[in-house]
Amino acid sequence: MKLVAGNSNRPLAEAIAAYLDIPLARCIVRRFADMEIFVEVQENVRGEDVFILQSTSAPANDHLMELLILVDALKRASARRITAVVPYFGYARQDRKPGPRTPISAKLVANMIVRAGATRVLTLDLHAGQIQGFFDIPTDNLFAAPVMVQDIKDVFPNDNLMVVSPDVGGVVRARGLAKRIDAPLAIVDKRRERPGESEVMNVIGDVAGHTCILVDDIIDSGGTLVNAAEALLEQGANVVTGYITHGVLSGGAVARIMASRLKELVITDSIQPSDSVVKAHNIRVLPIAPLLGEAIARTAEEKSVSSLFY
């Protein structure tokens, strides 16, 4: 078994390698002067079970090309099996046609990964579960919920908790977390006027006197989460904390979170945290390496991965 890392999230790759007690394979991923990507795997991988550790986070296109070229290099080096471990699958929000003459980019990216030569995909909290069906190879979609549940139990042992979905589309995810911690569920109904902006309309459920846990898969601009927290506090919630798997946090999102009434935003390190995220007083990062490492070990040993979540 070999672990190969791209440049998207080197600290996470090193943490996974430490968990598995396997060194990262020697590999060069660099740029030519014109920014073309060059890859050279400097170890023998013939007949090996190889796992490529690479999120398609910003810059998404560069990191996606790194992943594709790594897959191609390993395929041509006669690796027995190539598993693309993609903690954050970047094009997942483009999973349907929102209007005429628009692409389904998530399907396009899935096709590219398959055609490059990957034989399996391992990812974390896909934006939409049906994206698993976009791949014509076995695809395991892991869930960060067990990591979050343990943290919630440690931080809020005796609080009057309520899990809140920041929009109708995330109800299934929020309901799953609420069931794990035996808490009621509320929903924030919002209307999005244009991409990247959201307007909270009302709160479905009685949140007065509760400690509210906002749950979602991705936080990008932060507008949805900040508006939802404001609405919950206006409805009588004691405090509001956000638990989000993928901290994209683009543009002025970190400043927006720091200036908001959120008590804390908790994200995983599926995307490498920026310096501003690390320095933010109300943003905390949960390590996801043990979960991914265990899933990789079970995949290599042909054991059940789904049993991690039940």
Tokens read off for 180: 């794990």
Task: Please report the beta strands in 146-226, taking only residues with DSSP state E, as ranges in sequence order.
Answer: 161-165, 185-194, 197-204, 211-219
Residue 192 marked in a binding site: yes
* 3-state secondary structure at position 264: strand
CA angle 36, 39, 42 (to 5 degrees): 160
Q: What are phi and psi of 237, to 5 degrees?
A: -65, 145
Q: What's the maximum distance between 2 C-alpha atoms anywhere in the chain?
A: 61
Q: Does the annotation list 136 as a binding residue?
A: no
The DSSP 8-state label assigned to residue 49 in this structure reads E
Active site residue 190: yes
- Select from 170, 185, 140 the least CA-distant residue to 246: 170
Identified catalytic residue from 75, 97, 179, 190: 190
| Residue 275 labeled ligand binder | no
Q: Across-strand partners of 53?
A: 5, 85
Q: Check the annotation: does 94 bind a ligand.
A: yes
Would the annotation count 220 as a binding residue?
yes
Does 127 count as an annotated binding residue? yes
Q: Is 125 annotated as a binding residue?
A: no
The secondary element (H helix, E strand) that includes residue 106 is: helix 105-116
Taking alpha carbons only, the member of 143, 127, 140, 138 closest to residue 309 is 143
> Locate tokens 């590219």: which residue?
112
At 123, is the secondary structure helix, strand, or coil? Answer: strand
Amino acid at 295: A
In the block, tokens 């395991």 appear at: 140
The answer on whether 284 is annotated among ligand-binding residues is: no
End-to-end CA, the chain: 27
Q: Is residue 34 annotated as involved in ligand binding?
A: yes
**221 is annotated as contributing to ligand binding:** yes
Distance CA 108, CA 118 (A): 15
Instruction: Find out whether 224 is annotated in a ligand binding site.
Output: yes
* Kind plus residue range of the DSSP H or E element containing 124: strand 120-124
Q: Is 189 annotated as a binding residue?
A: no
Annotated binding site, which residues?
34-36, 93-94, 127, 167, 192, 216, 220-224
Annotated binding site for D-ribose 5-phosphate, which residues?
192, 216, 220-224
Residues classed as catalytic: 190
Annotated binding site for Mg(2+), which residues?
127, 167
Annotated binding site for ATP, which residues?
34-36, 93-94
